[in-house]
Structure 1
Amino acid sequence: MSTGLNVFSLFQRLKVITNVVRASPLLPLYTRTSSNLLGRGQRSMMGGGNDNRPSASSSLTHEETEALKIQTLEVSRVIVKETECRQLVDEWFRAGHPVGLDGEGVNLGPTGYVTLVQISTIEGQVFIFDVHTNPALFTKGKLGQLLQSKDIVKVIHDCRNDSAALYKEHRITLSNIFDTQAAHFVIQHQETGKPVDKIYNVSFNTLCQQYNAPVNPMKDQVKKVYRQDQGFWARRPLTKDMICYAAADVIALVPKIHTAMAREIKSEKMSLFTSVCEKHVNMFINSDYTIKKQKERRESDVANLKLKIASAHSRNVKLSFREIKLLRHVKLSEEDKKNLIKGSPKLKRILERHQLH
């Protein structure tokens, strides 16, 4: 199963998208606010659960938060009617530009369900589709057709749970996804040489800071509410705070973050990026795909490990924890064992424990 990432189309559109960003009604305020945040030393190259510093939204002043909320609400619109949804989808197909994508829901993931789907445009508009109130937006409104289209790039921050929920409840398989979490992994891989699966997740607000894009000013507030009320995103009517949060989670994705990250990914790493995007789409919905990819990775890692062991006769080599676990898949000669132990005396006990010595 493929996300259908059209690499040529992606880079051809970057020039057009860069020009459009200047027209966004939120750009002056967002640039100023993001710059203020960066000036406070909040920029980070690594995100996720290991980042114990204050979040970007908690670093905003009250005035900055309120200004962002007002500006975000001004460019946001909730869609419930199928006719409106269909008209917008048709318009996006005609334009052919990338769109930002996100979802909110109850326990969003393999065991949860989607209640909102947010789409942002390169013109700075956000459309919030209330699929909880009207699930027919996916079918009669053609929203599902957009999400599965190979012609339109959908830019999303970490699609894994969104993809699982959409597939489980609506049998929608995301296609032509530009996953900014995957892009972060590949860019860090380019800079550090670390395998993509060894790189920490980056939070959405941290990613926004890295690219001087607008953070979500409601992150901390809504997270606290959601922890106390798991059904929060199924509540109706939608409040202004809910609309603001949902819109702010998607508005920075296009064109700002998408354009910048697409440029950073080297052409020789595009196949790796596409592979990671596919992995994220399929992680919770296709067990056969996941098993196949795990097998391919193991075979590749074992082949690299054999080359590393072969070089041990001329230099000392140290094995990672994963490489040590993979030794069970490698037939070692007595000379191989001696050379490995020479490079790491502690390995003798490990080899004995693995019954390889």
Structure 2
Amino acid sequence: MEGPSHQQDLLAISNSLEKISLHGGQPDSDLIDTPAAVSTLVDALDGQPTTPPSLYMDLEGINLSRHGSISILQVFVLPSRQTYLVDIHTLGDKAFSTQGANGRTLREILESDATPKVFFDIRNDSDALYSHFHIKLAGIQDLQLMELATRTFSRKFVNGLAKCIERDSPLSTDERVAWKAVKEKGAKLFAPERGGTYQVFNERPLSEEIRLYCAQDVQFLPRLWSHYDAKLTKTWETRVREVSNDRVTLSQSSDYNGKGQHMALAPKGWAWL
């Protein structure tokens, strides 16, 4: 992706990224847990700039898939540098069907191919959204695929988000310490192997530790997008877009299985490109 317009895109995102910080381990976030708040959120998301992408998303839940449930949808809006935590556990379908002032809904934004949404590994998130709310995602840019596409070493296996943040997100020393502390506190609460339970994502009021955990990673996604996008060739950009769409389609199939060693494998043929 080269040329004057691309350089302007990178400058725009760089200027926004300079103003993003973790505020000493306390990332800002608004909890969206009423239809009125959803309506306000939809108005805030609708009509955002698309180049570079404005919307960066993630999901948390219990066994996040068709076999589990969705607890929280995290949304980071780059131009305003604001993070929203949409309480899917409390709102259910109202989170997606409540209209904003212009009649648009969160469902329409998620299903719009004209509105880019950046996720990291869209597969199980898409599975959960489609299975529980019949949301057919479109306009997805998968950061996990962008990282794989920009490698200069083996493409046999994909990386997880934590590894990508650790290696590719430009963190200051203070931010790195804060990020690890929030991750550690959250893991102790929800990871079964650490004595936690994923039910904490459904406890209300949401604990401050879990709220911080939900808000934190999504704020790093624009940094990763900028890092990988600067390295993408046109050919790889096309491959990433096509396989991002393929992942969404696969997640909606009746035989999709979101667990297992196959999830760590690169897309077919990528290892040899």
Q: Pairwise mapping of residues 169-318 of structure 1 onto structure 2 (< 5 A)?
A: 169-188=132-151, 191-192=152-153, 194=154, 196=155, 198=156, 200-209=157-166, 210-213=168-171, 216-217=179-180, 218-226=182-190, 227=192, 228-254=196-222, 256-287=223-254
Q: Give 1:201 deviation, angstroms.
A: 2.7
- Structure 1 partner of 2:49: 96
Q: 1:287 to 1:183 in 2, by over 3 A?
A: farther
The reply to whether residue 130 of structure 1 matches residue 97 of structure 2 is no
TM-score, L = length of structure 1: 0.60
2: CA distance, partners of 1:139 / 1:116: 16
Task: Give the structure with higher Rg (CA).
Answer: 1
2: CA distance, partners of 1:85 / 1:281: 25
Q: Give 1:287 deviation, angstroms.
A: 5.0
**Is the CA contact (8 Å cut-off) linking 1:79 and 1:130 kept in structure 2?**
yes
More divergent stretch after superposition (210-219 vs 163-172): 210-219
1: CA distance, partners of 2:73 / 2:117: 12
Over aligned residues, Cα RMSD in angstroms?
2.9
Aligned partner of 1:116 among 55, 72, 79: 72
2: CA distance, partners of 1:109 / 1:159: 11
Aligned partner of 1:17 among 13, 17, 35: 13
Q: Give 1:280 deviation, angstroms.
A: 2.5
- Structure 2 partner of 1:164: 127
| AA aligned opposite 1:244 | L
5+ residue gaps, structure 2, are: 100-104, 258-267
| AA aligned opposite 1:104 | E
Secondary structure of the 1:119 match is strand
Q: Give 1:289 deviation, angstroms.
A: 9.9
| AA aligned opposite 1:86 | S
**Is the CA contact (8 Å cut-off) linking 1:113 and 1:166 kept in structure 2?**
no
TM-score, L = length of structure 2: 0.77
Aligned partner of 1:140 among 73, 98, 102: 98
Aligned pairs, number: 237
Q: Give 1:90 deviation, angstroms.
A: 2.4
Q: Give 1:285 deviation, angstroms.
A: 1.4
The reply to whether residue 82 of structure 1 matches residue 35 of structure 2 is yes
Q: 1:245 to 1:289 in 2, by over 3 A?
A: closer
2: CA distance, partners of 1:182 / 1:238: 32
5+ residue gaps, structure 1, are: 1-6, 31-66, 291-299, 302-357
> Between the two proteins, what is the percent identity of the paired residues?
24
Secondary structure of the 2:46 match is helix
- Structure 1 partner of 2:61: 105
Q: 1:83 to 1:96 in 2, by over 3 A?
A: farther
Secondary structure of the 2:146 match is helix
Q: Give 1:219 deviation, angstroms.
A: 2.2
Q: Give 1:244 deviation, angstroms.
A: 0.2
| AA aligned opposite 1:130 | D
1: CA distance, partners of 2:24 / 2:98: 34
2: CA distance, partners of 1:107 / 1:232: 13
| AA aligned opposite 2:226 | T
1: CA distance, partners of 2:189 / 2:255: 37
What's the CA shift string for 1:117-151, capped at 9, x where partnerless?
01001132101010111120111152222211212
Q: Report which of the two has the higher share of helix.
A: 1
What's the CA shift string for 1:28-82, capped at 9, x where partnerless?
xx6xxxxxxxxxxxxxxxxxxxxxxxxxxxxxxxxxxxx6432x1xx21101122
- Structure 1 partner of 2:260: none
